[in-house]
Amino acid sequence: MRATVLNVAARGAAVRVKQRLQKGDKLLLPLAFREGGGWLVLCEVRNCTPLDRGFFKVGCVFKEKIDDPTGQARPPLDWIL
């Protein structure tokens, strides 16, 4: 699923998606930084609020992260099992 990042903080992020997510759902969020480098982050949904035109705002907390300087990292198996 594609998402638009609305904001990022030290412990979590808000994203806009087309599908309603439930509290506790997990998602992967690839983050690239303007300064270079990035992370692949395992997030957990904390809340999901309807927006206009069928979109939802999802607030999620970072659970784990790995460095992803090239944007090519793959999630560890324990993140997807």
Any domain includes 20: yes
The tokens of 74 are what? 């793959």
Domain that holds residue 19: 4-73
Asked if the model's pLDDT at residue 51 lies above 90, the reply is yes
SS (H, E, C) 4-73: EEEEECCCEEEEEECCCCCCCCEEEEEEECCCCCEEEEEEEEEEEEECHHHCEEEEEEEEEEEECCCCCC
* 1 three-class SS: coil
pLDDT of residue 31: 92
Residue 81 lies in a domain: no
Share of the chain above pLDDT 70, in %: 100
80 is a domain residue: no
For residue 80, pLDDT beyond 90: no
- The total domain count for the chain is 1
Tens-place pLDDT, residues 24-41: 999 999 999 899 999 999
Q: What is the mean pLDDT of the chain?
A: 95
78 found inside a domain: no
Q: Is residue 79 part of a domain?
A: no
What pLDDT does residue 1 have?
87
Query: Is the Cβ–Cβ distance between 62 and 79 less than 8 Å?
Result: no
pTM of the model: 0.89
